[in-house]
Amino acid sequence: MSAKLRLTAWFTLMVLILAAMVLVFVLVINSYSITDDPAGRLVRMVMHNAGEVEFDKGRFEWDDLDPCRRGVYCSFYDDEGQLLLGAAPEGVSPELNFEPGILRTFMAGEQEYYLYDAYVDMDVAGIWIRGLVSTTDRSGLMHTILVLTCTLLPVLLLLTIGGGWLIARGAFKPMEDILTAADSISDGDDLTARLNLRRGPSEMKRLSRAFDRMFTRLEHSFNAERQFASDASHELRTPITVILAECDRARRKDETKEDFLESIGVIEEQGKHMSELVQQLLSLTRMQHGTDKYPMRRADLSIFVESCCGEFVPADRRGITLETDIEENVEAAYNPALMSRVVQNLLQNAYKYGKEGGHIWLSLRRHGSGAVLTVRDDGIGISKADQSHIWQRFWQADAARGDESGTGLGLSMVKEIAEFHGGSASVESELGKGSTFIVNIP
């Protein structure tokens, strides 16, 4: 449950309880104001005191007596009418004879009072108890209101504060955990660690998932950067060495224009190779680690492949003929930039490793709801042993090594793109007879 919902539910509950209490309060006070009659209270209080009067060893005991309570004033007299203990409202002293058990009224100024006498006979002596109360007294009601207010309100207040505090603490505790975990991940350089918050309010779980996604992206970017740096430094070493050696050679040789042009040609060749390598490496790394976005769209792949073949210009045609057999209206979900790279890389290889004056056959066929792209050549072929290696980064068959136009990244890119589309890439080849590359797009 979300923290927002918890807090709202709690305070709604508290308000409902408060409303219910106010209702009960009103009902209690209402019924009390109907039943609360000062005369009844006066008689009850006098009789209560009569039951509490004690005479011990010739002494009057008044420890348990209530001379003044809830608006009722009681006075205690001996048989001679001498006041022993008592209380009365200021200026009120009824000059009336004792008459036990009779409720009487008398006026004191503007105010009317009830008066009630009781006699307690204690064998050795007797005690008169005289109680009086104002006929309009509301002390009983006030007493009830006071009791209700002083007990219920503090309880409700404590409950509201305590409950609210506990909910707020529960809601924000995962935040502390997230901060601690995030700190330890960033401090410890452990980008593989994740928060994985399973308990707590839904907002915190969402926050934790967002953090985890961010850490995953960070980890991928970091890994991509590291791999790119290591691959680039490794693969650029050879062309850089060649460039430096060529510069050195040019400087030491007799400086004819032709010598310089030859050296510049070598340097230019290496520069192009480096540029292609860096570009391919960058796209491959970005795709592998998901650091670049490649939106997919469902479209006519036949037209697209046709146009890719039309636009493709081989580095060296070597008398090779390209034949295409493209089924019409084959639809598939693909990314155009990546798909054009697949066609280009396969055609480039087919021309490069095809035999002089040979053939290349490119076909596109519908397969289920997807497509199968096939590029076949009748070139040098690939040995069975090498077929498992050709998809690896930078791998080049011995025969191809030294061919400075290649980077060893073309096929790993094809495989990566096919898998990015949810498909696969495979090869069927025989040494000396030719190769068939098959790319499946589901």
As measured in angstroms, the least distance from the Cβ of 339 to ligand ADP is 17
**Which positions from 336 to 375 touch ligand ADP by CB under 6 A, shown as an x/- string?**
---------x---xx--x----------------------
Closest to ligand ADP by CB, 115 or 281:
281
As measured in angstroms, the least distance from the Cβ of 174 to ligand ADP is 48
As measured in angstroms, the least distance from the Cβ of 227 to ligand ADP is 17
As measured in angstroms, the least distance from the Cβ of 273 to ligand ADP is 10
Residue 65 as a binder of ligand ADP (CB under 6 A): the answer is: no
Q: Which of residues 237-256 bind ligand ADP (CB under 6 A)?
A: none
Closest to ligand ADP by CB, 67 or 406:
406
Give how far Cα 201 sits from Cα of 3, 154, 161, 173, 273, Å: 5, 30, 20, 10, 55
Closest to ligand ADP by CB, 132 or 339:
339
Closest to ligand ADP by CB, 134 or 396:
396
d(CA 205, CA 211): 10
Closest to ligand ADP by CB, 32 or 361:
361
As measured in angstroms, the least distance from the Cβ of 425 to ligand ADP is 11
As measured in angstroms, the least distance from the Cβ of 343 to ligand ADP is 13
Closest to ligand ADP by CB, 132 or 413:
413
As measured in angstroms, the least distance from the Cβ of 314 to ligand ADP is 12
Q: Which of residues 288-307 bind ligand ADP (CB under 6 A)?
A: none
As measured in angstroms, the least distance from the Cβ of 317 to ligand ADP is 15
Of 274, 206, 200, 280, nearest in space to 238 by CA: 274
Closest to ligand ADP by CB, 216 or 436:
436
Binding-residue total with ligand ADP (CB under 6 A): 22
Q: Which of residues 379-418 bind ligand ADP (CB under 6 A)?
A: 379-382, 390, 395-397, 400, 406-412
Closest to ligand ADP by CB, 53 or 418:
418
Residue of 36, 117, 235, 377 that binds ligand ADP (CB under 6 A)? 377
Closest to ligand ADP by CB, 49 or 429:
429
As measured in angstroms, the least distance from the Cβ of 426 to ligand ADP is 13
Q: Which residues bind ligand ADP (CB under 6 A)?
A: 345, 349-350, 353, 377, 379-382, 390, 395-397, 400, 406-412, 435
